[in-house]
Amino acid sequence: MKTMGRKGRQFLEYDLLPLIGIIAAAVFVILILIRIFGPAQETVLYAAFYDGTLQTGEKQALTEETERLLQTEPGQVLLDESFDSKRPKDLERLQVLAANGALDVVTAPEEVFRGLAACGYFRDLSAFFPEGKLYRTKGYLDTDEVSFEDREVGEGEEKAYGLKLKDGTVTGVVEGNKHLNEAVLFLGFLQK
């Protein structure tokens, strides 16, 4: 029995701390691997802001307020203020994001918004907001006729594609987005 006590004491004195260190290092490595190779955090709201409609200083505060509003984890709300109407690549990027259903909301100066609505980017908001708050403009004329001249652009019915904000910009929900409820909540929040 005395040898057992001596072995136990020897284990405590010489082997326990290195064993705890090895276990802690293994847990740390496993957590890092899960973080790197685990499933990516889903974006709950992706909003594009055109032509400086979101100032860089406002971005962090608006992101945090939106995460609280939507009750999401940090990093699940993406506010992208890098869109510029004078750069054709940004319109291409908008087209790809909209086609994939990844983009939820666009906020832009009135003229840019009208142009995007004319191309059919936005959803009619009349079912979500009262008439007095809506911004009406012509949309895309969706016909079965094939036209290479884009005669359909801006020839569609005038609908409530957006909400006019206090700063004069217009915001709308992208047609075919994946997070309609979150986008509508965000628009209502922006309008306050």
Closest listed residue to residue 81, CA positions, set 89, 90, 73 = 90
Same-domain check for residues 22 and 49: no
| pLDDT, position 180 | 95
Distance of CA 144 to the CA centre of its chain: 32
Same domain, 118 and 95: yes
Please report the pLDDT score of residue 93 as a whole number.
93
pTM of the model: 0.73
| Structural domain count of the chain | 2
How would you write the pLDDT of the chain (192 residues) with one tens digit per residue?
Answer: 455 677 777 777 777 788 888 899 999 988 888 877 766 678 899 999 999 888 767 899 999 999 999 999 898 999 999 999 999 999 999 999 999 999 999 999 999 999 899 888 999 999 999 888 899 988 766 654 544 445 444 456 788 999 999 889 999 999 999 999 999 999 999 987
> Letter for the amino acid at 72?
T
Instruction: Please give the residue range of the domain that contains residue 130.
Output: 45-191
Q: What whole-number distance in Å separates Cα of residue 184 and Cα of residue 170?
A: 14
Q: How many CB atoms lie within 10 A of CB 164?
A: 16
Considering the domain architecture, whether residues 10 and 64 belong to the same structural domain is answered as no
In terms of domains, do 34 and 51 share one? no
